[in-house]
Structure 1
Amino acid sequence: METTTIVRVEDLSHQYSKDWAIQNINFEIKENRILGLLGSNGAGKSTTMNILCGVLNQTKGNIYIDGINLKENPVEAKKLIGFLPQTPPLHLDLTVDEYLIHCAQLRLVPKENLRNAVEKAKEKCGISHFSHRLIKNLSGGYRQRVGIAQAIIHEPKLVVLDEPTNGLDPNQILEVRNLIKKIAQDKAVIFSSHILSEVQATCQDIKMIENGHMVFSDTLDAFNNYIEADKLTASFENPPAVDALKEIPEITDAVYLSPKKVQITFSGTQEVAEKIVSLSVQKNWKLREIQFEKVSLDEIFAQLSKKAPSKNAILS
């Protein structure tokens, strides 16, 4: 069954004074999809998020929420958007129920539907047992759940989450990830983060913004195939000379980090590891450990910027 497009962003550009924060941003989000929006500091991610949530009016371009032009009809479009900022807008001296009732009223939920809306949001977010607990007495993970509950209490079609796992411990992160996936069963979700592993663990589609331009726009699978590690470290009991390692055609450089541990830079595929293992057996180097280095987000942005055919390229 064909899914409905919930968000359509067309040629979005915004200018602060003389400088363009973003230019020619285009993408769509369909229902039941989780989109990861990645961007380094100053890349234009926050500007895009603020325009998408109706906080900021763009200089050029259009955003449609379920077919409604956000700039031309902001009240109707915003009714379809739920937003969790990086710092949840919680009233710590209210109970969970008091706060969610307040949020539902702000979102113009009809009086006769208030209680049902609150109960449904609490149940989905796993906080029903904290209904009468003061928010200030909740853990960080449960406060985040309350923040997510206020974002979905009016049954929006789009949920925008800005750094939703920031500051949480590993168990809380897993719980929030699962909650986001549950929300996406009947909504479109945008998940903004600067942590690559969080986006990879949660999202199905990835958009990357750098220097105000979209440098990547595709699925998570395509992203994982597009970006490959180009460095590895290996430890040997009988370490070979650098020149011996460079006999492998793919290896472009090798630097010893310690007497028995070497960092290897390579081009091509990760099959180079198999060649190192094979040569180690032949030459009696006694390989003890080999592992690919994690690619940092900054390195990925640099790779994408180099690979993009033009400054404004959208890879899809």
Structure 2
Amino acid sequence: METTIVRVEDLSHQYSKDWAIQNISFEIKENRILGLLGSNGAGKSTTMNILCGVLNQTKGNIFIDGINLKENPVEAKKLIGFLPQTPPLHLDLTVNEYLIHCAQLRHVKKEDLHTAVERAKEQCGISHFSNRLIRNLSGGYRQRVGIAQAIIHEPKLVVLDEPTNGLDPNQILEVRNLIKKIAKDKAVIFSSHILSEVQATCQDIRMIENGHMVFSDSLEAFNNYIEADKLTASFENPPVISAFTDLPEITHAVYLSPKKVQITFKGTQEIAEKIVSLSVYNNWKLREIQFEKVSLDEIFAQLSKKAPSKNTILS
């Protein structure tokens, strides 16, 4: 049975007269990677700052491995590792010097310092750069050093804010694999505005919009939610538009150019097979057909319609 590492209960926070977040509740299990999504101003950063103990909430509670973060912040924070969007690196220190410094800040016992540093370096694949100045490392390895400082004290929860931001494709793959390795014995929160990154790394999704939780489920459920409902098709002999709109699965169709049509459909993506068959039967000479991906902005727009206004005052 998986252990609950983080429990957030009815979390709300007010800035002046406006509520940044309201009634946010969720749990994170051990060995799970949770993706936290939110557009600018949605309340994602406020939630993360409260979760990491940087900000005190107006209402609600957060428990880290059963410890109330607000009532016992020192003990709770010992269980949290945090990598902000801009890693807090000292560029003129070597990797060893920096990680020793971070371990000391985290109150790692003197006799355990060497073991903690070596373990973090090995886990993050940076042992061969122990004596190199951080400023001389590539962006990908700097990010690894940033992750190493977040796990140096063996926390129960690791919070990573945009950990793949600015990395090249190879570095992104390396950091993804590292995050999955870390999650083998920890709970991980992965915050990102890049949908593909969350889909490639996380098992659970929490989405905040207008200060409210608008999606809270598994990655599989999220992928089902955002399944494409539009496709485009190009024909050498394009039919009249009614050839598409007369089909019960198709709710709308419009020609984007004389030979290219955009189709909105309901139900499953099997409609593509039907269009292919109709093209062959009617000699439409289909040249291309492809589904249109749903953008994160479109998802936010759909979900935000279900969310109350963030300016609503709680009673």
TM-score (norm. length: structure 1): 0.95
* Compared CA separation, residues 314 and 267, structure 1 to 2 (3 A): farther
**8 Å Cα contact 2:228/2:292 also seen in 1:** yes
- TM-aligned CA distance change 1:161 to 1:315, over 3 Å: farther
Q: CA deviation at 1:164?
A: 0.4
Between the aligned partners of 1:314 and 1:226, the Cα distance in structure 2 is 30
- 8 Å CA contact 1:248, 1:275 repeated in 2: no
Q: Alpha carbons of 1:307 and 1:270: their partners in 2 closer, same or farther (altered >3 Å)?
A: farther
Change (3 A) 1:54 1:308: closer
State the 1:143 CA deviation. Answer: 0.4
CA contact 2:18–2:312 (8 Å) conserved in 1: no
Q: CA deviation at 1:309?
A: 11
Query: Retained in 2: the 8 A contact 1:215–1:314?
Result: no
Q: Distance in 2 between matches of 1:117 and 1:314?
A: 46
Flag the 1:15–1:293 CA change in 2: closer, same or farther, 3 A. Answer: same
The question of whether the paired residues in 1 share the 8 Å contact of 2:9 and 2:24 is answered with yes
Structure 1 residues 111-161: Cα deviation after superposition (integer angstroms, max 9, x where no partner): 111111000000000000100111111110000000000000000000000
Shift of 1:5: 0.5
- Deviates further, 196-205 or 245-254: 245-254
Match of 1:45 in 2: 44
* Deviation string, structure 1 residues 219-254 (Cα, Å, up to 9, x no partner): 111111222212111111212222222122222222
Cα RMSD over matched residues? 2.8
Contact kept, 8 Å, 2:4 with 2:65, in 1: the verdict is: yes
Aligned to 1:266: 265
Question: How many residue pairs were aligned?
Answer: 313
In structure 2, relative to structure 1, the CA distance for the partners of 1:307 and 1:56 (3 Å cut) is closer
1:265-297: per-residue Cα shift (whole Å, max 9, x none)? 222222221221111111111112111111011
Is the contact made by 2:34 and 2:190 (CA closer than 8 Å) also made in structure 1?
Answer: yes
1:41-75 CA-partner distances (Å, limit 9, x unpaired): 00000000000000000000000000000001101
Go from structure 1 to structure 2 and tell me whether the alpha carbon gap of 1:115 and 1:174 turns closer, same or farther (over 3 Å shift). same
Deviations 1:71-92 (A, max 9, x none): 0110100000000000000001
**Unmatched tracts of structure 1, length 5 or more:** none
| Residues 44 and 227 (structure 1), Cα distance of their counterparts in 2 relative to 1, 3 Å cut | same
Q: Secondary structure at the match of 2:305?
A: helix
- Give the secondary-structure state (helix, strand or coil) at the position aligned to 1:177: helix
Asked if the contact 2:206/2:216 (under 8 Å) is kept, the reply is yes
State the partner residue of 2:311. Answer: 312
Q: Per-residue displacement from partner, 1:179-211 (whole Å, max 9, x unpaired)?
A: 000000000000001111110100000001010
Identity %: 91
TM-score for the superposition, normalised by structure 2: 0.95
